[in-house]
Each structure stands twice: as C-alpha cells, then as structure tokens.
C-alpha cells in the first residue's frame, strides 16, 4: 500500500470523479501563505480520483453515523479507496460492524427500544454525585435483534436524566442532519457493499468485552472467522488489510493465513503505557526490528506518535524514523477526529500542539505525514480531505 506505488483497481464501480464538497477548499484557505498552500490552491479546480492513501475511518463519521451503510457510501463518494469495518460479534456469534462490542448505547437507538431490557447495564440517570450511564453490548443480543436497530452519531450526554436526553449528545462540530437513518451491517454485508462501491477493506478485529472463549468461540476462531468471510466473498488477500491492537491476532494471521497476514496491520496501542515516549522508540518491546522479524509489515500508531516539533516546525518523530529504518510501512489515524484545531487539536495532535493554532494546520500535518514520515495511508473521519491531498500530490 505504498503511497507512491499503490493503484486503485481498474474497472472499479467507483466513479473516477469524486465529490469533495467545500471542506478541502475551506482548509486550504485557512493556511498560511507558502509553497504548500500555493500547490494545493492550484488543485482546487482539478478533478480528484479515488486513492488508497485515503482510508475511511468507520466510513465518514464526521457527519454520518459510523459503521453504517450510509457512512460507507459517503466515504466512497469522497474517494476513500479503503473503508474500515470494525468487527465484533453478537450473542449468536455473528460478525458485525461496530467500533466496540459495548458501544450500542452510544452508537444506536437501543436504549429507546424494547431491547434496552437486554443490555448488560440499563440506563441510569445522572445525579449530583454520578454521571448518567449505560452499557449495551452486541453480545447481549442476536443478529436479527442487532439488525433491527438504527445507527446514530456516536455520543451520549452524561448529564442527562432521561434516555432521550442521554442519546442527544452529538458534539456541536458534528451534525445529526444525516442521523435519521443509519443502516447497521454485518461484516459480510459490509464486504459486499464496499466491493460494490469499488473499495478495498481494512477490518479491525475488536477486543471483546466478554471473556473468551465465548460460548465456544476462542480468540483464534474469532480471528479466523474474520478472514473466512473475505474468502467466502471471493475477495483477494491483496485487497484486505486486517488490523488489530492485539499483536497475537496479527501473528495468528501471519502464521495461519500468510496471504492475508502479509498485509496485517498492528495497531500500536503501546502509547497508553506510562513509559511510552515517541522520542525513545528503543525502549519499546518488541522493538521495531523484532516486529519486522516476526513478519509484521504494517504498523499503525495515532497521528501524534509520528510527529514532533523542532525549531517551530512539524517533523517526523524518532518513532517514525525507527519504524521506517526497520522496513515497516506506516499507516496513521485519525484525521478530523478532534474537531476544530483552534485550541491545539486535542489528543491526536498532542506532540505538536504548540504549533497547532487553527484548521489551516490540517494540511501541514498531512503533508509531513505523507512526504516526510512516508505513511502509506491515512485514516480520516472525512475522507474528502485526504482524497484531495493525495490527488493533488499524485499519490495513488
């Protein structure tokens, strides 16, 4: 999936002209004057094309309910060459697309339905001493019950005292305009939909909220079931980048399904460790070289892990340089997940927050990731942004 050599499949069902909308132009116009702004400005009237550099993170959840047919369709229209389905399972062990096994209370209307009675923990209103809460898992309900739900924007108002108030928590920089219809999908349905849109696939095997094995389903069986659904759909391994934060899942695919395993992506969650420092990658275990020796080819940390600031400029971090030196391809996540960048960009920009002062920095970050770090692809909550950049810069 090299940013310079990957090609979108010929004869794709996706139009070679994509709809970018006003956002890329808005971001370019916020930029400081300079060579990058000049080059991007010159592309504003040009046609864009689908690109593997542009990865639809949960579809296009800046404005559409995540992991729904509508969100995936929007991502494809905006030129995302790869679209993500986060994979978990239901009570009857069927694979479905959800960011987490236990997020139905924030990503669907389950609390407003009779199925709320089946939730692990029902709705508890906020009090002076505690926030509102609930926990509803895909493993609480069967596949037909899951399919009866409607997707909504991922949010909850924890100050709420009613279910309707709890469900009405969408951030003010997102929108509920497209949240009246959110069609939930099985993993197999997502494969057929994304295939029909001409896209490629990056399923993420989510860590279960339940103890494994679950009703006879072991972790390896779960990982294998994900791959088996691509085989059943006739999808070639070269079109799939399976992901997991669990290194054991990645190593299982490398060993048991080497054709799929060669593109397996290790989502590096070690940033959550207290000792983690992207300026000292030599302290990581396994090291970059050890990961490569185990057969890992793709490494995917969050954006901030790959960036640093030197003399007031955004540059690749030591982590990024070490990964590339070890021969690892890098993918990063997730652009436009933090909302407006006026106050430093939030969690995804924490190592460069001192130089992030507004949305005009968005394409500076993308440019460093693409040109200096050399990421093969970039997840975005609004794929038009990354599609425009890749098309302008000639990335496939």
The pTM is what?
Answer: 0.95
pLDDT at 371: 98
User: Domain segments of the chain: what residues?
Assistant: 1-84+185-396, 86-184
pLDDT band at 10 (very low <50, low <70, confident <90, very high): very low
Determine contact, residues 40/389, Cβ cutoff 8 Å.
yes
CA distance 113 to 43: 48
Percent of the chain with pLDDT over 70: 96
pLDDT at 157: 98
Determine contact, residues 82/386, Cβ cutoff 8 Å.
no
pLDDT at 231: 98
pLDDT in tens, 299-353: 999 999 999 999 999 999 999 999 999 999 999 999 999 999 999 999 999 999 9
Taking alpha carbons only, the member of 195, 148, 179 closest to residue 70 is 179
Q: Helices 247-256 and 219-232 sit at what angle, rounded to 10 degrees?
A: 50
pLDDT at 5: 32
pLDDT at 275: 95
Determine contact, residues 85/193, Cβ cutoff 8 Å.
no
Superfamily of domain 1-84+185-396: Phosphatidylinositol (PI) phosphodiesterase (3.20.20.190)
> Once rounded to an integer, what is the mean pLDDT over residues 357-365?
97
Looking at every residue in the chain, the average pLDDT score rounds to 95
Residue 186 is classified by DSSP as B
> Once rounded to an integer, what is the mean pLDDT over residues 370-377?
98
pLDDT in tens, 22-67: 999 999 999 999 999 999 999 999 999 999 999 999 999 999 999 9
Q: What are the strands, taking DSSP E only, across 225-321?
A: 243-244, 265-267, 298-300, 307-310, 313-316
Taking alpha carbons only, the member of 226, 210, 191 closest to residue 141 is 210
């Amino acid at each position: 999936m090299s940013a310079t050599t990957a090609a979108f499949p010929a004869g794709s069902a996706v139009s070679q002209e994509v709809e970018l909308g006003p956002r890329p132009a808005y971001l370019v116009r916020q930029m400081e004057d300079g060579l990058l702004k000049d080059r991007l400005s010159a592309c504003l009237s040009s046609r864009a094309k689908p690109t593997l550099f542009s990865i639809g993170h949960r579809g296009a959840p800046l404005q559409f309910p995540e992991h729904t047919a509508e969100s995936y369709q929007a991502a494809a229209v905006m030129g995302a060459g790869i679209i993500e389905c986060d994979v978990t399972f239901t009570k009857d062990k069927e694979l479905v697309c959800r960011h987490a096994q236990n997020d139905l209370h924030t990503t669907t209307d389950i609390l407003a339905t009779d199925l709320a009675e089946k939730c692990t923990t029902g709705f508890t209103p906020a009090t002076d001493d505690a926030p509102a809460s609930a926990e509803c898992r895909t493993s609480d309900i069967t596949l037909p019950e899951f399919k009866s739900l409607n997707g909504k924007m991922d949010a909850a108002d924890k100050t709420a005292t009613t279910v309707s108030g709890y469900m009405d928590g969408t951030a003010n920089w997102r929108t509920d305009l497209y949240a009246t219809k959110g069609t939930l999908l099985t993993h197999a349905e997502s494969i057929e939909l994304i295939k029909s849109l001409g896209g490629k696939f990056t399923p993420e095997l989510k860590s279960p909220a339940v103890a494994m094995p679950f009703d006879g389903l072991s972790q390896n069986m779960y990982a294998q079931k994900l791959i088996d659904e691509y085989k059943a759909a006739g999808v070639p391994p070269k079109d799939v980048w399976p992901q997991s934060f669990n290194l054991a899942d990645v190593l299982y695919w490398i060993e048991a399904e080497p054709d799929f395993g060669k593109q397996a992506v290790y989502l590096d969650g070690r940033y959550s460790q207290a000792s983690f420092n992207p300026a000292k990658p030599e302290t990581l275990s396994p090291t970059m070289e050890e990961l490569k020796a185990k057969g890992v080819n793709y490494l995917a940390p969050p954006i901030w892990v790959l960036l640093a600031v030197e003399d007031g400029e955004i540059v690749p971090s030591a982590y990024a340089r070490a990964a590339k030196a070890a021969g690892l391809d890098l993918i990063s996540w997730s652009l436009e997940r933090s909302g407006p960048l006026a106050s430093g960009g939030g969690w995804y920009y924490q190592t460069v927050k001192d130089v992030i002062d507004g949305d005009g920095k968005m394409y500076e970050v993308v440019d460093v990731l693409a040109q200096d770090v050399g990421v093969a692809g970039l997840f975005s909550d609004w794929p038009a942004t990354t599609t425009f950049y890749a098309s302008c810069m000639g990335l496939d």
